[in-house]
Amino acid sequence: MAIKDWFLSLFSKDGKLDLSAVVGQLAGEVFFKELAIQSSLNLIANVLSRAEFETYEKGKKVRKDSYYLFNVEPNPNKSASKFWRDVLHHLIYDNEALVVQYEGHFYCAESFTCEKFAFRQYIYRDVVIDGFQLNRIFQEEDVFHFELHNERIKDVIDGLYNSYGKLIAAAQGNYKRNNSPRGVLKIEAKYSATKKAQEELQNLFNEKFKKFFTAEGGAVLPLQEGLDYTELASNIGVKGGADNAQIRAFIDDIFDFVAIALQIPPQLLKGKVADTSKAMDDFMVFCINPLAEALQDEINRKYYGKRDYLARTYLRINTSMIKAHDIKDIAGALETLLRIGAYCVDDCLIALGMEPLETDWSQARWMTKNYQPITDAFAPGGG
């Protein structure tokens, strides 16, 4: 269909604009889809906000300016949680996000243009931050350019729902039709055929029947002699329920497709509690951890560089504390880690979300006497 034909089809015979079909399509293709995408974005952002951006200097964990910058206040206008939520928003909707550094702070760009080259650094122009366009040109080494996939996932989702939204709109139409009152109007042969009688009959169809069907309370339909209206049996309890279930099934499919595209277990996105622990493990393995690695790799290669990174000065996004644990469930594991020397007392306190003591004895390593070096076991007289 040509654009002109499509545009003209929006108007009824009397010249009035009829957007009912368009609104039905938008309801299916935009609102439900947008709800699924926004729910996915909020879920990922809420989970990732519990991760800690740990900073290390020569292999030792430290809390200095860079730690505050990544975890608390990237710039004077936004907290870290809001800043990283903006980054994730652009990653999901645009497949990429650009972060520039200005006067020691990080800012997420609303839009930009990238000039790519094969064997030298990319150049970024027309960078817009909070509606203000910067005149400066940035090179690749000056920015964090985060990318999600090779293909823009939002385009894939849009294409997938191009037809699926029409199914939802059709199901909505069926639901309305099956739940609308219907009847038969009998007109006797002796009914007057005068112009006045025909106008009254037209008024009956256009005005009186409309008010009668749309009345919320009781209603009376006055009929002239020669007219007899009989309402057909209602089928709301049969067909209407099936249509409603079909619409819900289509909406569930939308959430499933978006969840699959973003590597989220569908039951987590839809709030189902069955087997949540296994779903959360899959969510961490296939969605959160790869995303955290992509962020930290870009930060390490741009913010720290090769020399510092090889000298064990780097950033690490710790996602191990994201999952909430009951203290009784992990007490045994902490005791095991403590007695084999893998954890010290301070490590156990941090794992419980508490502040470390930072004393000599709380940072010492302990090991039970039941263990011995393997060389002792193979030594003469040992084992």
Confidence category of residue 114, pLDDT binned at 50, 70, 90: very high
pLDDT for res 172? 63
Is the entire prediction scored with pTM above 0.85? no
Predicted local confidence at residue 372, as pLDDT: 75
Q: Which residue has the higher pLDDT, 238 or 203?
A: 203
Q: Is residue 237 pLDDT above 50, yes or no?
A: no
Q: Is the pLDDT of residue 169 over 70?
A: no
State pLDDT tens for residues 310-336: 999 999 999 988 877 778 878 888 888
> What pLDDT, on the 0 to 100 scale, is given for residue 244?
64
Is the predicted pLDDT of residue 98 greater than 80, yes or no? yes
User: What's residue 320's pLDDT?
Assistant: 85
- Which H, E and C letters describe the chain, residue by residue? CCHHHHHHCCECCCCCECCHHHHHHHHHHHHHHHHHHHHHHHHHHHHHCCCEEEEEECCEEECCHHHHHHHCCCECCECHHHHHHHHHHHHHHHCEEEEEEECCEEEECCEEEEECCCCCCCEEEEEEECCEECCCCEEHHHEEEEECCCCCHHHHHHHHHHHHHHHHHHHHHHHHHHCCCCEEEEECCCCCCCHHHHHHHHHHHHHHHHHHHHCCCCCCCCCCCCEEEEECCCCHHHHHHHHHHHHHHHHHHHHHHHHHHCCCCHHHHCCCCCCHHHHHHHHHHHHHHHHHHHHHHHHHHHHHHHHHHHCCCEEEEECCCCCCCCHHHHHHHHHHHHHCCCCCHHHHHHHCCCCCCCCCCCCCCCCCCCCCCHHHHHCCCCC
Mean pLDDT of the chain: 80
In whole angstroms, what is the distance from residue 223 CA to residue 203 CA?
A: 12
Integer Cα distance of 280 and 285 in angstroms: 9
CA nearest neighbour of 264 among 75, 37, 91: 37
Question: Out of 39-43, 63-67, 178-182, which region has the weakest mean confidence (pLDDT)?
Answer: 178-182
pLDDT of amino acid 22: 43
What is the pLDDT, as a whole number, of residue 370? 79
Q: What is the pLDDT of residue 163?
A: 57
User: Residue 233: pLDDT band by 50, 70, 90 thresholds?
Assistant: low
Q: Which two tokens stand for residue 247?
A: 């619409």
* Spans of all domains in the chain: 18-95+148-179+234-324, 327-383
The pLDDT score that the predictor gives to residue 271 is 81
Report pLDDT for 24.
46
- Of 125-139, 196-210, 307-321, the one with minimum mean pLDDT is 196-210
Report the pLDDT value the prediction gives residue 171, as an integer from 0 to 100: 63
CB count within 10 Å of CB 308 equals 15
Q: pLDDT tens across 247-261, in order?
A: 677 778 888 888 888
